A and B are shown apart, each in its own frame.
Chain A
Amino acid sequence: MNVPVLARWIEAAGIPTVVVTMMPALAEERRAPRIVGVEFPYGHSFGMPGDRVMQRRVLELGLRVLAGASAFGTRVDFDVEWPVPLREAYRAWQPAEPSPIVKKMLEARRAST
């Protein structure tokens, strides 16, 4: 949720930006200037490891939106489904152990029940 804000500050410094993101709705809320949405698991903005064709398609779309968007808030979504079953992909992106903040939230939830 922070990178769209960083994009705004860099854009305000005079450098055009595009955010390629798994959470384009959030990038819109955070008012990123140009957005490309991908329905990929976290950590995989440009696609599957080793899949140069998919990575190229995403990067080229990002470049086209960067250079060709005519107005603030332009969003274009990448129309390709992640080629791994959802349950498997959902598990695969997550770290082996919860992050410190998630751990803290889980502990707080346990303590309140």
Chain B
Amino acid sequence: MIVDSYRFLPRSFRPLYEGRGPFAGEEGPVWAPFLKRLAESRIALLTSAGFYVRGKQTSFDLDGERDRPEWGDPSWRAIPSTATDLGVAHLHINDEDLLADPEIALPRHLLSHLASEAVIGGAVDAHVAVMGYQDRNLRDWQSTTAPEIAAHLRSQGADGLVLAPA
């Protein structure tokens, strides 16, 4: 079965997404081989659902996006695997299910469970959240956010990353 990538997208939005090709300067292959066995590997998760830890972290900047609709907050949050009170800052999706069960976008507890069953070697202590809506050129993501996330993942001993666009 081949997934229909546009099944849940309003029809008038499809031309905004389809046939855009690679991001400028990102045409060629990029490849980091996965060298270990999964059962010996530490895994991290990344979601673009805009999760943040309520009471401990600031929300993504939604007022900024309301003021400048082409702009999206390029910052990121480290989401501890044990954090309990997650908020959602994302103006493009209904957050009801995400708040009811954050595992649908960031399955931290499930990943820890797979570690306890030795399916994977372990889970990082702090996963990653970004807010998926960004301005077109992705300048801040490229210059700042991506290097910071890579450094965070290295400091967490991550052997691989599962990214889930919201």
Contact = CB atoms under 8 A, between A and B. Distances in A.
Name the prevailing secondary structure of the A interface residues.
mixed
B146 to A, nearest CB: 4
Main SS of the interface on chain B?
loop
Interface of A: 1-26, 29-31, 33, 37-50, 52, 55-56, 59-60, 62-64, 66-69, 72-73, 77-79, 86, 89-90, 92-96, 99-104
28 contacts: A1-B17, A2-B48, A5-B26, A6-B141, A8-B26, A10-B149, A16-B32, A17-B160, A19-B163, A23-B17, A33-B31, A37-B2, A39-B7, A42-B92, A43-B93, A45-B165, A46-B107, A48-B104, A49-B104, A63-B43, A67-B37, A67-B41, A68-B34, A69-B34, A95-B91, A100-B65, A101-B69, A103-B69
Interface of B: 1-9, 17-23, 26-34, 37-38, 41, 43, 46-49, 65-66, 69-70, 91-95, 97-98, 100-101, 103-105, 107, 110-111, 114, 119-120, 130, 132-134, 138, 141-142, 145-147, 149-150, 153-154, 158-166
